[in-house]
Structures are given as structure tokens and as C-alpha cells.
């Protein structure tokens, strides 16, 4: 069977993304064929496109989708043809009308969650789940720093933190994005293009600093983030939207007060079926209860995925973005 997909044969800018026909084979043992109704756009797709994260080429991009199972291979029993499903992570290949993929990454969707919402929330929502609940389990009354608070991960984090009684200080690139982060539950916002992040965090925390910083911006904010931490605080460096963090000596952690550093990935927190099911159940519950609302703030036809990448990299998007096959 053939499907339209966005494939790259070389790394580079959005112009390397070709809308073309690809072959979708019948599912083998442990696999399922899924017809996508919506596909999630994530910053990690940019890293795979540019080559910051290497992969064998040619490749179909994309880590996240929602749709209907059309067929399953031998040994697959947790999903069946006709099931509404969604997934995040696993091998690239989501930017396609349909794909054959490992079935173990699929979860069944509750009826209340539509395909666009699902494609917008799986990767970013599961990320917020592990960041706030496992990497550093935040507690009510704490004040934390979370960068890029008006982005896809960011707006979910603002709402989830508020639901847990946590004061989230969110950084943003414009005053309009600041308003959006506040409306989603950020207790404080800092415009990092016009304000001094470290001075503002010290002011808000009355000099104490924060126990944890969640930093997905990377290169541009890394050392300023370390400067915002309390002694023995935890730096969670979970992305590189401004570029990869430069190599540094561990003395940087020592002289700021015995800091901890982690560089987590969703895959490492979701490496078993039991972990995936528990994390997804918690995310679905947050969304079903209305504590976290998923904002699909941009949609693009799958054929226009390159435009979606341009918008994401130019910081023109807020919340989540979905591609429609």
C-alpha cells in the first residue's frame, strides 16, 4: 500500500522535507498498521531534520500521532483493528497518512479525547508528566522555573503545576506569550528578551533561588538557569531549542552550591509498557478532569509540514501544533 508522507533524504533546513509517496507494508509480528487522523509537531522533529540527532536516511520524520488501527501482526493483542489509538516516541515515521509501527507504543484513546487533541498532547503531555512527577517530584507550595512557558510543553506544564499547587515562574520571548502563560496558570512570567532572568528569580524567591529549573532552551539559557538554583538544586536540561549546550567543567556545578544536573529523555522514563500505561493514564485523567486543557493553536496540512517547521523555529507558534493528513 502507498501513503503520502514527509520524507527527508538529507539533513538541512525545512526545504529538505519532501511530500512524497512511501510504501506501507503489512504489519509483521509485534506491529500494527495505523491510519493517522492527526500528527503531532514537536521540536525534536527539527533536531532529526537538521541532524543534531542523527538517524539513518532516507527517513520519514515524526514521533507522535493519533488514528485508527487498520491491521495488527502476530502476537499483538492489546489493540485490534478499529481501535482509536495514539502514541509518542518510538521510531520516527509519524509524518505519514498511514504507517506500520511497533504496536507496544500504542495506547487506546478514551472516547472523550479527539484525534487532534491526542496528537497534540501525547509527547508534550507525557513529558510534563515525567518532568513534574518523576524527574523532580514537585510539591505544593514550591516555586519552580520553567523555560519556554508558552510553548507546547510549556502551556501544559503551567496548568499541571497550578493543579499541583506549585508556583511556576515561566520564561517567554514576548509579552503576549507572557499573558498566555499567565492565563494557563503561570504564577510569574519573565520575558527573557527584555528582563534579567536571574535577578527576577532572586526577587520573586526573596533571594533563595528555586529548587529546580526545567530548561529546554539549552545553549542560550543554560548557565543563567544554574544561577537561579538553590544550593543542591536540580538542573533539568531537557532540550536544545536554541542549540546544544556547550561542554563545561563540573566545577560550574560545584561553585554554585553542589548542584545536580540531569539530561532526561521521554524514552528513558517510558521504557516499559507498565510505565507507558501509568503515565498515559495520569495524563488522560488530567485532561479528562479539565485541569489541563490542550490548546491546538496551529494546524497545517501534512503537505505543508515544512511551513510548520518554519513557524516553530521562528518562535511564531504557541501551545501545540498538529499536522492533518
Ligand X SMILES: NC(=O)c1ccc[n+]([C@@H]2O[C@H](COP(=O)([O-])OP(=O)(O)OC[C@H]3O[C@@H](n4cnc5c(N)ncnc54)[C@H](OP(=O)(O)O)[C@@H]3O)[C@@H](O)[C@H]2O)c1
Q: Which residues bind ligand X (CB under 6 A)?
A: 42-44, 123-124, 127, 148, 150-154, 172-173, 177, 216-217, 220, 238-242, 264-266, 312-313, 315, 317
Q: Which residue is nearest to ligand X (CB)?
A: 151
Q: Please, what is the minimum distance in Å from the beta carbon of residue 238 to ligand X?
A: 4
Strand partners, 188: 169
Of 127, 151, 62, nearest in space to 279 by CA: 127
* CB 318, CB 30: distance < 8 Å: no
Would you say 297 or 304 has its CB closer to ligand X? 297
Query: Measured between alpha carbons, how far is 45 from 41 in angstroms, rounded to an integer?
Result: 7
DSSP string across 137-165? ---TT-EEEESSTTSHHHHHHHHHHHHTT
* Structural element, H or E, at residue 272: none
Q: Please, what is the minimum distance in Å from the beta carbon of residue 247 to ligand X?
A: 19
| φ, ψ dihedrals at 272, nearest 5° | -125, 160
Would you say 100 or 124 has its CB closer to ligand X? 124
Would you say 47 or 71 has its CB closer to ligand X? 47
| φ, ψ dihedrals at 192, nearest 5° | -75, 0
Which cell numbers in the block locate residue 67? 488514528
| φ, ψ dihedrals at 290, nearest 5° | 85, 0
Residues 6+ apart with CB under 8 A from 124: 40, 42, 152, 153, 156, 320
Would you say 2 or 134 has its CB closer to ligand X? 134
Would you say 20 or 50 has its CB closer to ligand X? 50
* CB 7, CB 97: distance < 8 Å: no
Which cell numbers in the block locate residue 14? 525545512
Q: Please, what is the minimum distance in Å from the beta carbon of residue 182 to ligand X?
A: 13
Would you say 100 or 320 has its CB closer to ligand X? 320
Q: Please, what is the minimum distance in Å from the beta carbon of residue 177 to ligand X?
A: 5
Q: Please, what is the minimum distance in Å from the beta carbon of residue 189 to ligand X?
A: 10
Q: Please, what is the minimum distance in Å from the beta carbon of residue 48 to ligand X?
A: 11
Of 135, 162, 136, 164, nearest in space to 149 by CA: 162
* CB 263, CB 123: distance < 8 Å: no
Would you say 42 or 100 has its CB closer to ligand X? 42
Would you say 30 or 173 has its CB closer to ligand X? 173
* CB 149, CB 125: distance < 8 Å: no
Q: Please, what is the minimum distance in Å from the beta carbon of residue 216 to ligand X?
A: 3
Q: Please, what is the minimum distance in Å from the beta carbon of residue 42 to ligand X?
A: 4
Which cell numbers in the block locate residue 189? 512570567
Q: Is 270 strand, coil or helix?
A: coil
Amino acid at each position: 500500500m502507498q501513503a503520502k508522507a514527509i520524507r527527508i533524504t538529507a539533513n538541512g533546513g525545512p526545504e529538505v522535507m519532501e511530500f512524497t509517496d512511501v510504501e506501507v507494508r503489512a504489519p509483521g509480528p509485534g506491529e500494527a498498521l495505523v491510519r493517522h487522523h492527526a500528527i503531532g509537531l514537536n521540536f525534536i522533529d527539527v533536531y532529526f531534520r537538521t541532524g543534531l540527532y542523527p538517524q539513518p536516511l532516507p527517513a520519514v520524520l515524526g514521533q507522535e500521532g493519533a488514528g485508527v488501527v487498520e491491521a495488527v501482526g502476530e502476537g499483538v493483542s492489546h489493540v485490534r483493528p478499529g481501535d482509536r489509538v495514539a502514541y509518542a516516541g518510538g521510531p520516527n515515521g509519524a509524518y505519514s497518512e498511514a504507517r506500520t509501527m511497533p504496536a507496544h507504543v500504542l495506547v487506546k484513546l478514551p472516547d472523550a479525547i479527539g484525534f487532534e487533541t491526542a496528537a497534540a498532547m501525547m509527547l508534550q503531555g507525557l513529558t510534563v508528566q515525567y518532568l513534574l512527577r518523576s524527574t523532580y517530584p514537585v510539591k505544593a507550595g514550591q516555586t519552580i522555573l520553567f523555560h519556554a512557558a508558552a510553548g507546547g510543553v510549556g502551556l501544559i506544564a503551567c496548568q499541571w503545576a497550578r493543579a499541583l499547587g506549585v508556583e511556576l515562574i515561566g520564561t517567554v520571548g514576548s509579552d503576549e506569550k507572557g499573558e498566555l502563560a499567565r492565563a494557563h496558570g503561570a504564577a510569574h512570567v519573565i520575558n527573557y528578551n527584555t528582563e534579567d532572568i536571574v535577578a527576577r528569580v532572586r526577587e520573586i524567591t526573596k533571594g533563595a533561588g528555586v529548587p529546580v529549573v526545567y530548561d529546554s532552551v539549552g545553549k542560550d539559557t543554560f548557565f543563567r538557569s544554574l544561577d537561579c538554583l538553590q544550593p543542591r538544586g536540580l538542573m533539568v536540561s531537557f532540550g536544545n531549542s536554541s542549540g546544544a549546550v556547550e561542554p563545561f567543567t563540573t566545577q560550574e556545578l560545584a561553585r554554585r552550591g553542589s548542584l545536580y544536573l540531569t539530561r532526561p529523555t521521554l524514552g528513558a522514563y517510558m521504557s516499559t509498557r507498565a510505565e507507558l500505561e501509568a503515565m498515559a493514564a495520569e495524563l488522560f485523567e488530567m485532561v479528562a478532569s479539565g485541569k489541563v486543557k490542550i490548546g491546538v493553536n496551529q494546524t497545517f496540512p501534512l503537505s505543508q509540514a515544512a511551513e510548520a517547521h518554519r513557524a516553530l523555529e521562528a518562535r511564531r507558534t504557541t501551545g501545540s501544533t498538529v499536522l492533518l493528513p
